[in-house]
Structure 1
Amino acid sequence: MIKLLHKGFSMFLALLVLFSTVSFTIEKHFCGDVLVDISIFTEVDKCAMETYEIALEKITKKPCCKDVVDVIEGQNELKFSSFEDLDFEQQQIFASYIYTYFSLFEELPKLTIPHKDYSPPNLVTDIHVLDQVFII
């Protein structure tokens, strides 16, 4: 159970680092005020009015369709902190936490069972049948 929890938590942290450093764009295509298509990783599909827009733009000078591009920037650099970057009190707290954490997992003393190698005596007769005592 603990190994499964540990693997799940480490996978979560790895994905968190991955998604915080990746940049991506969200493209939206509007035809008038109506949202036609949304795309995250590929180009947006244009509507059928896009071909007629060129002729309409020559007449009205106002385009009908528009594309909106939202860019979500990820981190460019990750900050790597070292133990020396912490002040003295934080270093003491961190060191005492690590010491107490590893002290929790001390090995138990080996149990000695004194009668482990003892073999019971051989039965000469069956006492239950001899005394006619049966568990009902």
Structure 2
Amino acid sequence: MNKVFHKIMSLSMAFVVLFSTMSFTIDMHYCGGTLMDTAIFHKVETCGMEMENPLTEGCSIAKTNCCIDEQVVLDGQDELQFHVDKISFEQQVFIASFVYSYINLFESVDNNGSSFEEYEPPLVIKQIFKFDETYLI
């Protein structure tokens, strides 16, 4: 249960860091005060009622354009830079010892081998058990 909670928390913290540093824009198109279209990753589609500029300077149109394009920019946090030159010597020693001890946690230690596998048994010259046998009659 503890491992599952730990994985859920680490995943949620990774998403918090990801979304706090990500920036994006939202494009909106209003036509006559009514929202017609919104877009996040592509250009907004217009309603087709935009007024074009006149070709000559003598011509002018008295009407104002009823369409408005609005853009909302959501900036992410960009102050997450880590400066290595500002770490003191004690902090460097702590980081080095922590990394060394953490890496050694996952090394597999094989203690399954026995120490007598390298040696051969002695040659049997006499059967010692026959010298120590006693028979009850």
TM-score (normalised: structure 2): 0.51
In 2: Cα distance, 1:55 partner to 1:19 partner: 41
Identity %: 47
Shift in Å, 1:32: 1.1
Shift in Å, 1:60: 2.2
Provide the residue aligned with 1:54 in structure 2.
Answer: 52
Provide the residue aligned with 1:13 in structure 2.
Answer: 13
The correspondence for 1:64, drawn from 66, 78, 92, is: 66
Shift in Å, 1:16: 0.3
Larger radius of gyration: 2
The unaligned stretches of length 5 or more in structure 1 are: 86-136
Q: Which has the higher helix share?
A: 1
Shift in Å, 1:77: 1.8
Number of residue pairs matched by the alignment: 81
In 2: Cα distance, 1:54 partner to 1:64 partner: 12
The unaligned stretches of length 5 or more in structure 2 are: 55-59, 88-137
Provide the residue aligned with 2:2 in structure 1.
Answer: 2
Shift in Å, 1:48: 2.4
Q: State the 4+ residue runs in structure 1 displaced beyond 6 angstroms.
A: none
Q: Residues 1-136 of structure 1: matches in 2 within 5 Å?
A: 1-50=1-50, 53-54=51-52, 58-60=60-62, 62-78=64-80
TM-score (normalised: structure 1): 0.51
